[in-house]
Structure 1
Amino acid sequence: MQAKKKQGLFSGFLNNGNAYPVLTAVAAGLYPLLFYYTNNYKMINSWGHLGYFVSVFLLFPIAVFFLAHKISGVNLFKKFQPFVLPFLNFFFFFSYLNIALYAGFNWLRTLIIFGVAVLLAFLLRKFFKKIIGFQLILAVIGIFTLAPVVIKQLNYSKEWMAQPDAIEEAVFKKKPNIYFIQPDGYANFSELKKGFYNIPNSEFEYYLKENNFKNYPGFRSNYAATLPTNSAVFMMKHHYYNNGSDFTETIDARNVIVSDNSVLRILKNNGYRTFFLTEQPYFLTNKPKLGYDFCNFSTEEIDFVTTGIGEPKDVIKPFDNYLETYADGPNFFFIEIFNPGHITNTIEDSKGVEGERQHYMESLAEANKKLTQLTKSILEKDPKALIVIMADHGGFVGMTNTGESYTKNTNPDFVNSIFSTILSIHWPNGEAPEFDKELKTSVNLFRILTAYLSEENSYLENLQENGSYIIINSGAPQGVYEYLDDAGSVIFKKLS
């Protein structure tokens, strides 16, 4: 009886003459909204984003559809009324899907969608209510797809962030200005000379040595991407990709990196001003609350729909201005530049193995130029600075695209191309601590620096192990695998 009643309601919906402008608008926007949230949740997990997307994907089309339907009821436009809602539905539905897929607006694609919407409105008008039903079914599927993503976020445990000692209460005995410069994807000098790279870079390596930087051969990252690496770096702890519970971006990573973390707490407890300068707002896409005192991006200038990657913003000039304005210190600068970066992410955009390698070489030269400018500015004004140049991961050179890294491959050149990272440090007065030999992977960087600045060696008792980890999707059961062990040897061990 219940099934027959539902069937009757659906049949009545299909066969009556009512237009349902509000339902038509909801059908156009709801599935694209859910689709976008499912695929980008960690970039847009704020109340501000929710309000924006509900307004744009639901409230705005409801207003437009309702108004258009009313206007088309006027005698002058009466003959167009049967086509108005179908056209608007197709146009908005495909326009929103376009935004969801490409995270942005494009005039050419919009014009194509306009033409397709006009054509479909004429061809499929008689089947329009069935299409609305199909769109609503898609939305129901979208709810079930999004629900696990949201539940995973809500159940996210922050236990991994707990420190095993009182390092957050460390008291610095010396307080130099600290400059943490992160060139994206910059492989270690030792790896650039061999393996899949074989890239000449001796001029910049020599420049650093001449200016009393100490280079650390064989240094590497613990993770294969920017967000998981930096969340581990600033918490000085392993998260193991959320213990294998997440196979995309690391949960809550942006908030960990720029809002609140162990490193920022230590610095603020020791009276440091904190500055975050970046060429791209990649860490800021979800508009997190900033834990830094100064940033060269304001949340207002970051679009709600964005990948966080676009035209790079200059960091050199604002950095020089900050150096002049806040010369007294102590200051901590986190400066992120997006050169040399890594090879392309997709096979469709790939220039092939050698083409990608050549592009990396060109971008490496640009990185050297920026790093030279930054370090020269620092050393001229602050010769006793603590300057750390450390990348987030390698450049993935030797592959056609970064997607290959998710397939099992235990070739040492392949693995080191992912994890090898530059580490070069200008120690104040050229005096590196004896325990700098412990600088092997990025997760332990700030614990070692804290021990150095506080002159408290007990913090070294809780160094994290130096394994390097990656997510594998093919060639082996899906999961998080240890690719390099504590000694830097290639292994392939699935985490339990």
Structure 2
Amino acid sequence: MIQHIKNVLSSTAQFPKLTAFALGLYPFLHYYSSNVYMVGSWEQVLFLVFLCFILPQIIIGLSTLLMRFRPLSALEKYNLSVLSLSLFTALLGVLIFHFNKKEMLTALIVSGGLGFVLYKHLKKIIVLQCLLALISLLTLIPKLHFAMTQNNAGWLQSSDAILNAKLKHKPNIFVIQPDGYVGKDVINKGFYNYDNSAFESFLDKNNFINYSNFRSNYYSTLTSNASLFGMKHHYYSNTNKRTLKTHNATDVIVGEQNTVLKILQNNGYNSYLFTDNSYFLFDRIPLAYTYCNVPKASVSLYKNGVIKGIDIVSDFKQVLDTLPKKHNFFFIEKTIPGHVIYKQSASRGVEGERKRYLDKLEQANVWLEDLITRINAYDENALVILVADHGGFVGLEYTMEAVKRRLTNQEAQSAFSTLLSIKYPKEMDPEQLSFKSTVNLFKTVFYGLTDNQAFLDDLEPDSSYLPLHEDGSTHYYECIDTNGNVSYQKLSN
């Protein structure tokens, strides 16, 4: 390889094909190294191959032909260096940095200008791009190995008594998840110190029971929802300790390994997924839901996040107008209020992040009231469950601070305290049901719908778990025990 590099550097020949290949190699490998936990569909692979390898070959091939004609021939000596740096920058801007139009234009002007200045050093640019790609390849290999060896078989298994349970009561079930909505016992004091009585009164008037001291078992959306719909603890078994990225979680949340959906479908339910975010859809796994409001064509092939043009309430109303009023299950997820900013570099500080969270909380309350009003108009006797995936992390400067150091009692409650509010159909008795954490939510609900003791006999520990970087490594801890006490106990491998 070293000799080949020397040959390229010493040659007087132009290398248009090598130039095109080299400029796309690092963006391709770096993107996969950063996103291997959620990129795997053939559509995504083919798109990235076209974007990083085929498109640069086409552009450079056409430009090489155009340079043969006057007056463009005067620019021929600059052609490859300008395109190499400009296309390299464009790919990084699209795939890695997600530049907006103004940022992209500025970056292209700067990189194009450098191409004119450095045209005599094109071969060194190619070598540098290849070396960067080699570094990305070395970081990708262990991540790829982890991804290829992960599955849910080790933790997801449920007994036949649970999977084949027959429901005595079959109400319409609406599960509404406002991302990061903290519980009622935490929101009105401490870091949040927010008067949420108006929304709580709305829930009371609509016959919801608002539960205190309820929490999530995991700190992120994927890890929490995987345990929620799997009705089991995974103890971060599918989470890479180096990257803290969770693999195969969407198979359990919206895919064919969703235990909750298996039970409901065995009892004749149709299922409906509503979201305005591509977070659960980005990897393009086969959905287990009968219907999803987001068309597959609307989901980006390279970037996840909020999908423009999607209005959950409007989509929800249109679907309700067409449905029979029996045996329907709905999972409705929206990324508000969310949580404090993810990275330290974008943080507004503790108080600034608190204000941002509370602004989003007020938006969430309006959205929830609209949604609940529409559900009541459709079916007054439905089972309606409001449950968040984790807390808002208010009191921290940024979310990932939670894995950098041990949290205080109040900080741990802010991270894990979770909204739970339930409106029951008349045939269910809420007095016999007790809720502590998300992992056992559906087991308890199914017990109320079946009177099958197998669900209560199979309850998981109500403990909450958190990764922690320490001593140059990552370890997983029981952060909150089953009785609600904050006490870091390291999990065994």
Report the TM-score, using the length of structure 2 for normalisation: 0.95
What residue number does 1:3 align with? none
Partner Cα separation in structure 2 for residue 243 and residue 156 of structure 1: 6
Which moved further from structure 2: 9-18 or 49-58? 9-18
Kindly indicate whether the alpha-carbon contact (under 8 Å) linking 1:188 and 1:420 is maintained by their aligned counterparts in 2: yes
- Match of 1:275, SS state, is strand
Out of 394, 398, 412, the residue aligned to residue 397 of structure 1 is 394
Partner residue in 2 for 1:366: 363
Separation of aligned partners in 2, 1:338 and 1:455: 34
Deviations 1:288-320 (A, max 9, x none): 222111111011111112132355732112212
What secondary structure is seen at the aligned counterpart in 1 of 2:280?
Answer: helix
Structure 1 residues 410 and 67: alpha-carbon distance in aligned structure 2, compared to 1, 3 A threshold: closer
Alignment match of 2:131 (pick from 131, 137, 140) = 137
**Is the contact between residue 408 and residue 475 of structure 1 (CA under 8 Å) also seen in structure 2?**
no
For residues 67-466 of structure 1, what are the structure 2 equivalents within 5 Å?
A: 67-74=62-69, 76-102=71-97, 104-158=98-152, 159-242=154-237, 245-246=240-241, 247-260=243-256, 261-309=258-306, 311=308, 313-429=310-426, 431-437=428-434, 439-466=435-462
Paired with 1:85 and 1:79, the residues of 2 have a C-alpha distance of 13
Q: Tell me how large the CA RMSD over aligned residues is.
A: 1.9
Q: What secondary structure, in the 3-state scheme, does the structure 2 residue paired with 1:91 have?
A: helix
- In the superposition, relative to structure 1, how do residues 285 and 366 fare at CA in structure 2: closer, same or farther (>3 Å)? same
Q: CA deviation at 1:9?
A: 4.1
Indicate the residue corresponding to 2:12 in structure 1. 17
Q: Using the alignment, how far apart are the partners of 1:483 and 1:98 within structure 2?
A: 38
Which residue of 1 is the match for residue 42 of structure 2? 47
Distance 1:446 1:75, change over 3 A: same
How much does 1:346 deviate?
2.4
Aligned-partner SS, 2:37: helix
Runs of 4+ with >6 A deviation: none
How much has 1:67 moved relative to structure 2?
2.0
Q: CA deviation at 1:165?
A: 4.8
> Are the equivalent residues in 2 in contact too, given 1:165–1:459 (CA < 8 A)?
no
Letter in 1 for 2:486: V
Taking a change above 3 Å as real, the CA distance of residues 166 and 223 of structure 1, as seen in their structure-2 partners, is: same
* Secondary structure of the structure 2 residue equivalent to 1:94: helix
Paired letter, 1:459:
F
| CA 1:470–1:374: 2 relative to 1, 3 Å | same
1:367 and 1:75, CA in 2 relative to 1: closer, same or farther beyond 3 A?
closer
Structure 1 match to 2:484: 488
2:239–2:245 contact (8 Å) kept in structure 1: no
Comparing 399-408 and 414-423, the one that deviates more: 399-408
Q: CA deviation at 1:114?
A: 2.3
Quote the offset at 1:494 in angstroms.
1.7
List alignment gaps of at least 5 residues for structure 2: none
Residues 191, 312 of structure 1: alpha-carbon distance in 2 compared, 3 angstrom cutoff: farther
Equivalent residue of 1:479, what SS? strand
The runs of 5 or more residues in structure 1 that have no matched partner are 1-5
Structure 1, 359-368 or 66-75: larger mean CA deviation: 66-75
Alpha-carbon distance in 1 for matches of 2:86, 2:444 = 56
How far is 1:210 from its partner? 2.2
2:273/2:291 contact within 8 Å kept? yes
TM superposition shift of 1:443: 0.6
Asked if the contact 2:239/2:246 (under 8 Å) is kept, the reply is no
Percent identity over the alignment is 37
- 1:61 matched to 2:56? The reply is yes
Whole-angstrom distance in 1 between the partners of 2:176 and 2:186: 20
Whole-angstrom distance in 2 between the partners of 1:417 and 1:310: 28
Q: Relative to 1, partners in 2 of residues 1:8 and 1:319: Cα closer, same or farther, differing over 3 Å? A: closer
Pick which of 285-294 and 107-116 moved more. 107-116
Shift of 1:139: 1.4
Q: CA deviation at 1:477?
A: 4.9
Alpha carbons of 1:172 and 1:95: their partners in 2 closer, same or farther (altered >3 Å)? Answer: same
- State the alpha-carbon separation in 1 of the partners of residues 309 and 489 from structure 2: 38
Contact 1:227 1:249 in 2 (8 A): no
Distance 1:153 1:277, change over 3 A: same
Label 1:250 to 1:233 Cα distance change in 2 as closer, same or farther (>3 A): same
Provide closer, same or farther for how the CA distance between residues 106 and 129 of structure 1 changes in structure 2, counting only shifts above 3 A. same
Distance 1:137 1:477 in 2: 27
Letter in 2 for 1:18: A
Contact persistence 1:244–1:480 (CA under 8 A)? no
Paired residue secondary structure (1:333): strand
CA contact (8 A) 1:482 1:491 kept: yes
Partner letter of residue 273 of structure 1? N
CA–CA distance in 2 between the matches of 1:130 and 1:477? 37
